[in-house]
A and B are shown apart, each in its own frame.
Chain A
Amino acid sequence: MTVIVRSQMWVILCLCGVALLSMGCEDEFVDKRPEGTLQDITSLAEREDLNILFVVIDTLRSDRLSSYGYERETSPVLDYLAGTGVRFANHRAQSSWTKASMASLWTGLYPVRTDVLRHKDALTEEAYTPAEILGDAGYLTAGIWRNGWVAPNFGFSQGFDIYLSPALNQAPAKLRTEARAGRIEGTDVDLAFSATEFIRTHSDQRWFLYLHFMDVHQYISTEETAIFGSTYSDAYDNSILWTDRQLGNILRELYELGLEDRTLIVVVSDHGEAFGENGAEGHGRDVHAEVVLTPFIISFPFKLDPAGVVQAQTENVDVWPTVLDMLGLASSNEGAVDGTSQVPLLTVGQVAPMQDTGFAQLDRNWGRIEEESRMVIAVRDGPLRLVHDPTAPESDLLYNVELDPLEQTNIAEIDPENLEKLKHIAEEHLARKPVWEGGAPQVEIDEMHLKQLRAIGYSIEE
């Protein structure tokens, strides 16, 4: 039984008719959105003036956000969006590696169905992406991205009028800082300035803007945002605060131009980050909780009071079916969508069928061209989640994620019946065919692109 919990914790923020939005910047400014309710979601489809701001914060795990229960105040801006919108509390990505995850996010299809699993795989031109859908519906579509895995040659620019990876040093000269003592040039500041300019220049138009932040992936912060300490885990938190500030700077422009009451803001991530919880560091190695539990926050052109918190298990494949449903647009890919719109859940509390099963998948040899595939797949069925390696089933791990969300206690030995059941589901899932004949096309990656990907920490062997 899944329930939407009306969160009372944000009532304090919404006591007044007009809320002050403090984003950690020097200026506070006013949120002039009208009050609304979840029912008002159904009226979004009738609007012809809506903008869509779709934010992907690479490598962001949800349990490091204050609004998701983290004790540190890493994310005041995101918390505000969640506190006046809807937060999906038990949300997962489809993979722990960007390209596979993003292919699923855009198409609403599981990785086995997009077939984007290895480093040379690209998203097929046959995919009908949200950018294409929105473009066909009359939106100006723009993407500003900084992760090489979502580059145009991998098929991710489909449908965007402009798909741009910002040059370095795009801040005004007086704000540019030298790279000194561990700080690097080329950060999300460049993305933020480009995004702000886009919003400024198109304030009178209807647009869809996709932003792909990378500074959390790179653990970038400044002296001002490095307030949580100096271990690597602290550095990760520092980078979240820094990114939250960059997002705040973009939203400031939105608010100053008075666009907040006609912009739908969606915040997600492609995967999380491990700090040894299950023996691994980083991401792209397995599909445990720490690398797939990601945020999903929607901020509407109106403020919710109280905010909504969805406890149902949701996934990134649900994101675009939900957003498109809100906009009254048909979903993509010839109806073959694995994800489910959460609009019925939000508006009438109706649980969609297939709500209680979910999958995440990774080919552990995604970056090793000489090696065969080595899949690991996670199946969630109700409260149970299985992490299954078909080549080493003796090492399968079973968890009760309602009691043990971070997957620390393996119950495989004490629940063999469910272990077998979920293994069967996993094997069936892995046997599914890609949606498109021929699966994912392959592209060659040149040396320069390989170097760029290695520079952001990916180990790709040729």
Chain B
Amino acid sequence: MILLIFAIQIITVGCQKPPIQRAIGLMNQGRWEEAVDLLRPEIESNPADPDLNEVYGTALLRNGQPSLAVWPLRRSYLAEGDRSDSGAMLAEALVTGGASQEGLDLVTELIQAEPDNIYLLSLRARAYSAILDYEEALADTERLIELSPQNPRFLEQRINVLIDLDRTAEASDAVAALRDYLEGDEGDFATNTKARFCGAEARFMSKYGEQDEAQAMFEACLVKYPAEADLLMPMVEMLIESGQAERASEVIEEQASSKLGQPRLRLQVLWALDLESHGEMERAEQVLRGAAERMDAPQPWLELADYYLRVDDMAATADALGHAIRLQLAGEDEENFDYGLIPQEGLFQYADILIQTGDFDRVRRLMKSIEEPTFVLLLQARLKLVEGDARGALADYEEAFRSWSSNAGARYLAAEAALQIGEFDVAMNHYMDSLRADADASDSGLILARLQVYQRLPRAAYDTLYYYLRNVTDKERARDILHMLSQLSLELGSLPSIEYVRDEMLKMDDPSSRGMAVADYAHGLNALQGAEAALAYLESVESLDAPENAQALLFWSRLTRAQGDAESSRDRIEAALRGAPESVELKITLGEFYLDSPETEEQGGALLLEAAEAAPDLPRAQGSLANYLSRTAETEALVNALDASARLDPTDPVYGFDAAKTLLDAGQKEEAIVRLGEHAEKFPWYGDTATQLARVDLEEGEFGSRTLMRARLGSEFGFEDPSFSWEVLGRVRMARGEMSEAELALIEAVRFGPMRPEPHYYLGTVFEERDRTDRARLAYERALEMGEFDEAGLARQRLDALGPAPENLNEEEVTQ
């Protein structure tokens, strides 16, 4: 028995190959990771063994782990003896594993022994490019071409390096050489490759300014290779750069609508984008839809979906995506769709769009195929949000943020959910985190800053906007931010900040921003250093009379008039307008100047009306007109002007609110309520709208949780009339029987508006309810002292019912 065991052991030992050999066997089968796993313990025991290191390192390298392979391969290479075999491996590991300089040094050494080794030369060229030494990369590439002249990869590599070196003429010649080579070929190269190089030469020529020759060359290439996107796109680029946008559009349309072009999606997409760039949205849609219907494949429908996404039509996006998916899944009926075949990211995006279109059933079906937990959480959250479960939505969002804290869009929605349940601090944190995640993704920075302003925290708002400005890339948004910063700087009384904003706005491309910079700075100087300083600055502005400085000119005229020289102010504006009679901006300035004086108010109004009609899309025109109309009883005209302003500046909530409020004040309650509801949907954080909706609820006898949330939002972020916002909250609390909270709210209402009778009156009723008769009496008396108000009669009645105050009443004790 013992002999048998020994025999078995001997046989086993004799058959057991050393680990290196077994590893090599695995590597020969491409089982790299297994080889690595096998050799790892060996390396730990024998780290100095050069052969072991070489095999182990090679396994790591071929397993896609060059940054690990570097170490054992280096050890092997540096060991004593001839280790040149591992040199090439090490060089590859160094170059691909992130140590380019070291790789370069080694491969240079190896090339000395093997100067014609194509593999080493390729590696070195790559290493030289990695360290930006393009001259040397070129030298190696040219050597590679000498050694392997038929290899188009090296020819193309040479072109790229020449471009990196900015040796465009030589790159162009290289392109021509490659083109000739490809055209001489009888079949190995795809037509689009040949087309690409046909056009590349023309493109280079255009870079030398030889536009006519370049264009002719492109046209000739197009004849040879019609409807090839790789040729057409650089041609279009060249035409646009040389100011021939119209010709570019013609060429695109010719090629894309040709028989050959119609089945080519890239051309259709190029055509549609070109049409979009000219504002021809309907035609763009027709092109893409035509392509989608014609080609009957998923990708064209996805392109159409992308178009609908760009124009913010979620329903159509969902429809197009649905088509794409149905085609992808090859005709199965929807109930039996295996959505699991669609990539998770695509499913997630599709589901997200479907939520926005209200197709919740389909979303729920889709979600069964989504495995990624974070996607599921985000979709669940969004569903809950639209279905009214804001608290549940917020919980799901916050769980999702553990894995995906930088999802700016989800953070934005989480903020909305938080607002809906009155978690205002949480909401503001999420807006801030949305901004941190991606400043360009939304207007979360502007919203947050506004909320901070509404909370009377101008410093915090300034810091938010400053951060936003430093991180946003959208120039339009930057302009809005700067304008808000300008106003806040004024409020903070910070001249350096005002100067900073001015300097930033003066750098902007559009004249209106530069004009605003001058005007805002002058306002700042006036506030902080007085009229003289502001006037001195304005008078130093070279082109103050130019249309772009119309607002600054207005401010100059107001300052000058205030100093008693109304005539000069008027004369200067009129002269400026005579010099630029077509300028709507200057017309507005004159109109506003006239408005400042009762004698010329009507004249001013007429000018502003004229300006608004002449330039309906100029925000200042509509804003100024609205300002004038607010003094008149022309409700409809005012609302129209405000609607126009809201259309022109959709991110600013003020116009929409003012329009609704105007209707409410004019007794057009029904329409006002509808508008307020729509406004609240669009701007769920806007306190003043929330206050008005809460007030309307109260009038209708509603005071449930929704009304309470509205009132709370109003008190937190209301800006127009904080006293009124707190009063509404107080009244909601009263209606709900929450007297303690009502008292606190009404005390705030009094604090913000001590001269308003209504908060005193309502506070009186709360005190009465809480049997604090003496305080109630005082509150009613104070209310009545301030004059007549709607509830004055009730206040008198209640005061009478309370009877006279005790003789020795100490008012101070009562109000403590």
**A binding-site residues for B, Cβ under 8 Å:** 144, 152-153, 157, 161-167, 169-170, 172-174, 180-183, 190, 193-194, 197-198, 200-205, 219, 222-223, 226-227, 229-232, 234-235, 238, 256-257, 276, 279-281, 392, 395, 446, 459
B72 at interface by CB-CB < 8 Å: yes
B131 / chain A contacts, CB cutoff of 8 Å: 152-153
How far is the CB of A293 from the nearest CB of chain B, in Å?
21
Contact A181 B375 (CB under 8 A): yes
Contact B375 A198 (CB under 8 A): no
Residue from B36, B399, B433 within 8 A of A232 (CB atoms): B433
Contact B432 A230 (CB under 8 A): no
Residue from B65, B405, B432, B467 within 8 A of A219 (CB atoms): B405
How far is the CB of B592 from the nearest CB of chain A, in Å?
36
Residue from A157, A219, A257, A276 within 8 A of B101 (CB atoms): A157
B215 at interface by CB-CB < 8 Å: no
Contact B63 A446 (CB under 8 A): no
Q: How long is the Cα–Cα vector from A174 to B362 in the complex, in angstroms?
A: 35
Contacts of B433-470 to chain A: CB distance below 8 A: 433, 436, 459, 463, 467, 470
How far is the CB of B643 from the nearest CB of chain A, in Å?
37
**B binding-site residues for A, Cβ under 8 Å:** 33, 36, 40, 43-44, 47-48, 53, 60, 63-68, 70-72, 74-75, 94, 96-102, 131-132, 344-345, 372-375, 397-407, 429, 432-433, 436, 459, 463, 467, 470-471, 496
Q: Which of A164, A227, A229 is the most central at the interface, judged by chain B CB atoms within 10 Å of its CB?
A: A164
Q: Which of A144, A202, A232, A235 is the most central at the interface, judged by chain B CB atoms within 10 Å of its CB?
A: A232
Q: How long is the Cα–Cα vector from A246 to B670 in the complex, in angstroms?
A: 63
B345 / chain A contacts, CB cutoff of 8 Å: 180
Known: A181-B372, A201-B53. 9 other contacts (CB 8 A): A163-B99, A164-B94, A170-B68, A193-B65, A194-B68, A201-B75, A203-B47, A232-B433, A280-B467
Task: Evaluate whether A200 and B40 lie within 8 angstroms (CB atoms) in the complex, with A152-B101, A226-B402 already known.
Answer: yes
Closest to B37 in A: A172
A161 / chain B contacts, CB cutoff of 8 Å: 102
B459 / chain A contacts, CB cutoff of 8 Å: 279
Contact B99 A170 (CB under 8 A): no
Q: How long is the Cα–Cα vector from A169 to B402 in the complex, in angstroms?
A: 23
Q: How long is the Cα–Cα vector from A229 to B395 in the complex, in angstroms?
A: 11
How far is the CB of A149 from the nearest CB of chain B, in Å?
16
Contact B47 A182 (CB under 8 A): no
Q: Is the interface of A mostly helix, strand, loop or mixed?
A: loop
Task: Evaluate whether A230 and B406 lie within 8 angstroms (CB atoms) in the complex, with A172-B36, A204-B47 already known.
Answer: no
Q: Is the interface of B mostly helix, strand, loop or mixed?
A: helix
How far is the CB of B729 from the nearest CB of chain A, in Å?
28
Contact B405 A235 (CB under 8 A): yes
Task: Evaluate whether A200 and B47 lie within 8 angstroms (CB atoms) in the complex, with A164-B98, A181-B375 already known.
Answer: yes
Residue from B33, B36, B71 within 8 A of A198 (CB atoms): B71
Q: Which of B65, B429, B471, B496 is the most central at the interface, judged by chain A CB atoms within 10 Å of its CB?
A: B65
Contact A173 B372 (CB under 8 A): no
Q: How long is the Cα–Cα vector from A218 to B395 in the complex, in angstroms?
A: 25
B406 / chain A contacts, CB cutoff of 8 Å: 182, 219, 235
Contact B63 A230 (CB under 8 A): no
How far is the CB of B494 from the nearest CB of chain A, in Å?
10
A223 / chain B contacts, CB cutoff of 8 Å: 373, 402-403
Closest to A231 in B: B429
Q: Which of B96, B99, B404, B463 is the most central at the interface, judged by chain A CB atoms within 10 Å of its CB?
A: B99
Q: How long is the Cα–Cα vector from A281 to B429 in the complex, in angstroms?
A: 13
Q: Which of A194, A197, A204, A280 is the most central at the interface, judged by chain B CB atoms within 10 Å of its CB?
A: A197
B36 / chain A contacts, CB cutoff of 8 Å: 172
Q: How long is the Cα–Cα vector from A53 to B373 in the complex, in angstroms?
A: 38
Closest to A142 in B: B71
Residue from A167, A172, A203, A395 within 8 A of B67 (CB atoms): A167
A163 / chain B contacts, CB cutoff of 8 Å: 99, 101-102
Q: How long is the Cα–Cα vector from A121 to B345 in the complex, in angstroms?
A: 42
Contact B433 A231 (CB under 8 A): yes
A202 / chain B contacts, CB cutoff of 8 Å: 47, 71, 75
How far is the CB of B386 from the nearest CB of chain A, in Å?
21
Contact A279 B44 (CB under 8 A): no
A173 / chain B contacts, CB cutoff of 8 Å: 33, 63-64
Task: Evaluate whether A193 and B405 lie within 8 angstroms (CB atoms) in the complex, with A167-B97, A181-B374, A201-B47 already known.
Answer: no
Q: Which of B47, B48, B397, B470 is the most central at the interface, judged by chain A CB atoms within 10 Å of its CB?
A: B47
How far is the CB of B468 from the nearest CB of chain A, in Å?
10
Q: Which of A152, A167, A174, A205 is the most central at the interface, judged by chain B CB atoms within 10 Å of its CB?
A: A167
How far is the CB of A174 from the nearest CB of chain B, in Å?
7
Contact B47 A162 (CB under 8 A): no
Contact B98 A166 (CB under 8 A): yes
How far is the CB of A126 from the nearest CB of chain B, in Å?
19
Q: 20 A-B contacts, Cβ less than 8 Å apart? A: A157-B101, A163-B101, A164-B97, A166-B67, A172-B33, A172-B65, A173-B33, A181-B372, A182-B374, A200-B40, A201-B72, A230-B398, A230-B405, A231-B401, A231-B433, A232-B432, A235-B405, A235-B406, A256-B44, A281-B467
Contact B43 A167 (CB under 8 A): no
Q: How long is the Cα–Cα vector from A165 to B99 in the complex, in angstroms?
A: 7
A183 / chain B contacts, CB cutoff of 8 Å: 403-404
Closest to A223 in B: B403
Contact B99 A162 (CB under 8 A): yes
B75 / chain A contacts, CB cutoff of 8 Å: 201-202
Contact A164 B433 (CB under 8 A): no
Q: How long is the Cα–Cα vector from A238 to B422 in the complex, in angstroms?
A: 28
Q: How long is the Cα–Cα vector from A310 to B407 in the complex, in angstroms?
A: 41
Contact A459 B470 (CB under 8 A): yes
Q: How long is the Cα–Cα vector from A439 to B643 in the complex, in angstroms?
A: 61
Residue from B70, B374, B403, B432 within 8 A of A164 (CB atoms): B70
Closest to A204 in B: B47
Q: How long is the Cα–Cα vector from A230 to B745 in the complex, in angstroms?
A: 32
Contact B436 A281 (CB under 8 A): yes
How far is the CB of B566 from the nearest CB of chain A, in Å?
39
Contact B344 A180 (CB under 8 A): yes
Contact B432 A201 (CB under 8 A): no
A-B interface, 9 closest residue pairs, ranked by CB to CB distance from nearest: A182-B404, A230-B401, A181-B374, A226-B402, A235-B405, A166-B67, A197-B68, A165-B98, A201-B71
Q: How long is the Cα–Cα vector from A232 to B398 in the complex, in angstroms?
A: 11
Q: How long is the Cα–Cα vector from A374 to B40 in the complex, in angstroms?
A: 53
B44 / chain A contacts, CB cutoff of 8 Å: 200, 203, 256-257
Contact A181 B68 (CB under 8 A): no
Q: Which of B36, B375, B403, B433 is the most central at the interface, judged by chain A CB atoms within 10 Å of its CB?
A: B403
A230 / chain B contacts, CB cutoff of 8 Å: 397-402, 405
Contact A197 B403 (CB under 8 A): no
Contact A232 B101 (CB under 8 A): no
Contact A200 B65 (CB under 8 A): no
Closest to B48 in A: A204
Contact A182 B436 (CB under 8 A): no
Contact A182 B60 (CB under 8 A): no
Closest to A196 in B: B68
How far is the CB of A235 from the nearest CB of chain B, in Å?
4
Q: How long is the Cα–Cα vector from A459 to B63 in the complex, in angstroms?
A: 36
How far is the CB of A328 from the nearest CB of chain B, in Å?
26
Residue from B96, B404, B432, B470 within 8 A of A181 (CB atoms): B404
Contact B74 A162 (CB under 8 A): yes
B74 / chain A contacts, CB cutoff of 8 Å: 162
A222 / chain B contacts, CB cutoff of 8 Å: 403
Contact A172 B63 (CB under 8 A): yes
Contact B72 A197 (CB under 8 A): yes
B471 / chain A contacts, CB cutoff of 8 Å: 459
Contact B71 A166 (CB under 8 A): no
B433 / chain A contacts, CB cutoff of 8 Å: 231-232
Q: How long is the Cα–Cα vector from A440 to B375 in the complex, in angstroms?
A: 49
Task: Evaluate whether A162 and B102 lie within 8 angstroms (CB atoms) in the complex, with A193-B68, A194-B68, A230-B405 already known.
Answer: yes
Q: How long is the Cα–Cα vector from A133 to B651 in the complex, in angstroms?
A: 60
Q: How long is the Cα–Cα vector from A88 to B529 in the complex, in angstroms?
A: 50
B470 / chain A contacts, CB cutoff of 8 Å: 459
A201 / chain B contacts, CB cutoff of 8 Å: 43, 47, 53, 71-72, 75
